[in-house]
A and B are shown apart, each in its own frame.
Chain A
Amino acid sequence: QSALTQPASVSGSPGQSIIISCTGSNSDVGGYNYISWYQQHPGTAPKLLIYNVSQRPSGVSDRFSGSKSGNTASLTISGLQAEDEADYYCSSLTNKNTRLFGGGTKVTVL
């Protein structure tokens, strides 16, 4: 199974909204609502932002939201802030009860 497909980079100005897509197949993203999104700053472990497609863990800003349509999941970051500059990864359960990660998206705040 190949990694989920994410854009390599997305950028935006402070205050803007950006969307990061994550495309898989019927065997993973399209088949399950177990989609997670992670934020990773350099030298640190990933931090969970979204689970089960659109659920936010306690303590995560409501500027982060998730959705899914067919085989593509999306992460929206609203009101972009300098601290949002990081790498973002999607992850999905698969039909083999394993997990796949996306190739990662580097977010740049202009």
Chain B
Amino acid sequence: QVTLKESGPALVKPTQTLTLTCTFSGFSLSAPGMRVSWIRQPPGKALEWLARIDWNDDKFYSTSLKTRLTISKDTSKNQVVLTMTNMDPVDTGTYYCARIRGSDDYWGQGTLVTVSS
């Protein structure tokens, strides 16, 4: 059974760096073809794709946010970590991690991050 769960701070201050962890089970990110993505959703607004890391450590970032994002994996811990620098109130929203590839589509429950001083 594939599960993913996001964790991290619920509140961060403007200009701080956000670090989110996705802990998953039911698969290994070292297996060929596996990948984990991060997607966010501001309150009442649309989904926004952020980043993806593949089994071979290939990394892909949103064009508009790539200067602020870093994605990494710890295969031994079954974790993927996303960092986002220079947080701003507009970055407030629910952050999801997901395993997405065709019909292979699993999402975490999401974690709400609020950016406020």
Counting CB contacts under 8 A, is B62 at the interface? yes
B63 and A98 form a contact (CB under 8 A): yes
Query: Among the listed stretches A13-21, A49-57, A66-74, A77-85, which one makes contact with chain B, having 4 or more residues with CB under 8 Å of it?
Result: A49-57
Cross-chain contact B102 with A52 (CB below 8 angstroms)? yes
Among candidates B48, B63, B103, B107, residue contacting A101 with C-beta atoms closer than 8 Å: B48
Flag whether B49 is at the interface (Cβ < 8 A). yes
Which residues of the partner chain A approach B52 to less than 8 Å between Cβ atoms? Answer: 98-99
On chain B, the number of residues with a Cβ less than 8 Å from chain A's Cβ atoms is 22
Determine if B105 and A98 form an interchain contact, defined as CB atoms under 8 angstroms apart.
no
Closest to A52 in B: B102
| Residue contact B62 to A98, C-beta cutoff 8 Å | yes
What residues of chain A lie closer than 8 Å to B110, measured between beta carbons?
45
Chain B residues 62-117 with CB under 8 Å of chain A are 62-64, 96, 100, 102-103, 105, 107-110
Q: Does B55 count as interface, using CB distance less than 8 angstroms? A: no
Q: Assuming the A-B contacts A89-B46, A89-B47, A103-B46, are A97 and B60 also in contact, with contact meaning beta carbons closer than 8 angstroms in the complex?
A: yes
Which 4 residue pairs across A and B have the least CB separation, nearest first?
Answer: A48-B105, A45-B107, A101-B47, A99-B49
Residues of chain A touching chain B, judged by Cβ–Cβ distance below 8 Å, are 1, 3, 36, 38, 40, 45-46, 48, 51-52, 55, 57-58, 89, 91, 96-104
B positions within 8 Å CB-CB of A: 37, 39, 45-49, 52, 60-64, 96, 100, 102-103, 105, 107-110
11 sampled A-B residue pairs with Cβ under 8 A: A1-B63, A45-B107, A48-B105, A52-B102, A96-B63, A97-B60, A99-B52, A99-B100, A101-B39, A101-B47, A102-B46
